[in-house]
Amino acid sequence: MQILPEQLLGGDGALPLAPDLRQSLEAWFAYLADARQSSPHTLSAYARDLRQFLRWLTDGRDHPAGLADLASLDAQRVRAFMAARRRAGLSSRSLARTMSALRAYFRWLEAEDVARNRVLLQIALPKVPHGIPKPLSIAKASAVMDGAAADAASWLAARDAAVLLLLYCCGLRISEALGLRRREAPLPGRDLLRIAGKGGKERMVPVLPIAQHAVRHYLDLCPYPLHEDGPLFVGAKGGPLRARVMQLLMQNLRAGLGLAQTATPHALRHSFATHLLSAGADLRQIQELLGHASLSTTQVYTEVDRDRLLAVYAKSHPRA
């Protein structure tokens, strides 16, 4: 389904745009969705970033923003926008993402010979603090799994346990787990999942028996009929399960188990990668399992597992 800027940027007239700018936005979002296979999350993020910029650009003007306004944009105006966003409390990471979205849009305008303005390339992106993943320890990851499945007779608890096991045992993103169809359910005997990740990149992921049986248990208890092409995981009222439900679950588990604020559903994916690396898995193998396009993305886990790497170095180097 095509997602148009009217839906993403707001169709309530609160953001007046000239016809040429609106048309270019429609074409750009169509390009992102169709040619680049960008995820709905990426499209929504880009739309929010562009909405902030265009709202600021039109503030105080007596005419809707158009392509001519973009073409005449100078460095001083861009820096003023960045300063305004800073004052509004935007973090360096969020501001860098906003500027990256704007750069992508301006590059597309030039490639399509619609408008040309390279001022954004002259503006340095905000420095983003280097962060490393914050996985759970093996013991804490096990406690999360046990905590989610504490009520063995509840179908909701069975569902939660199945989802969390797929995140931890398979290294899935929460969107990938919740995007599974009923016909794709990894039941006992089906030990591989085909996952379409970011940018449409497909990968095959092994599913451990404990996760297979957890999915089977959930399906046995689920009170709703699940259609083959419908979602595998559903909410309390039978609709598609939302990521927010799992985030709140982890929030409750954090309080009950005394976990850090970084213990989120995504932290289970980090834990999957870190624990594999600690057990001796090759970085290339972990890259494939996570669906990373570049090995450099996966290498960040070596910083997490520094102690193991030092131990291997001490054991293996001839002069150690």
CATH of the domain at 39: 1.10.150.130
Q: Which of 51, 182, 198, 203 is catalytic?
A: 198
Looking at the fold, whether 253 and 195 belong to one and the same domain comes out as yes
Q: Tokens 């704007």 label which residue?
A: 102
In a domain, 178, yes or no: yes
Kindly state whether residue 294 falls inside one of the protein's structural domains: no
Domain count, the chain: 2
**Structural domain for 66, as ranges:** 5-122
Residues 205 and 232 in one domain: yes
> CB-side exposure of 305: number of CA atoms within 13 Å?
26
Indicate the residue among 266, 286, 305 that finishes a domain: 266
- For 292-308, give one letter per residue: b (16+ CB within 10 A) or e: beeeeebeebeebbeee
Selected catalytic residue, list 22, 159, 269, 270: 269
Structure token digits, residue 96: 């860098």
| 292 catalytically annotated | yes
Q: Are residues 215 and 259 in the same domain?
A: yes
Q: Are residues 111 and 153 in the same domain?
A: no
The CATH number covering residue 233 comes to 1.10.443.10
Active site residue 301: yes
Residue 301 lies in a domain: no
- Annotated active-site residue 269? The verdict is yes
The active-site residue out of 173, 217, 270, 275 is: 173
Q: pTM for the full model?
A: 0.68
Domain boundary among 245, 266, 287: 266
15 and 51 share one domain: yes
Question: Two tokens at 10?
Answer: 């707001």
**Within its chain, how far is the Cα of 275 from the centroid?**
21
Q: How far is CA 60 from the centre of its chain?
A: 35
128 assigned to some structural domain: no
Residues written for the chain: 320
Residue from 48, 77, 266, 308 carrying the catalytic annotation: 266
Q: Which of 248, 266, 284 is the last residue of a domain?
A: 266
Is 198 catalytic? The answer is: yes
Per annotation, catalytic residue among 22, 140, 275, 292: 292
Q: Residue 146 is encoded by which pair of tokens? A: 């046990």
In a domain, 317, yes or no: no
Sign for the CA dihedral angle at 21, 27, 31, 32 comes to: positive
87 belongs to the catalytic site? no
Active site residue 103: no
pLDDT tens series, the chain, 320 aa: 444 555 555 555 567 888 899 889 989 998 988 888 777 778 888 888 898 898 888 887 778 889 999 999 999 999 999 999 989 888 888 888 999 999 999 999 999 999 999 998 888 888 876 667 788 888 999 899 888 777 777 999 999 999 999 999 999 999 999 999 999 999 998 889 999 877 677 899 999 999 999 999 999 999 999 999 999 999 999 999 999 999 999 999 998 888 888 899 999 999 998 898 888 888 888 888 888 877 777 777 777 666 666 666 677 767 66
- Bridge partners of 281? none
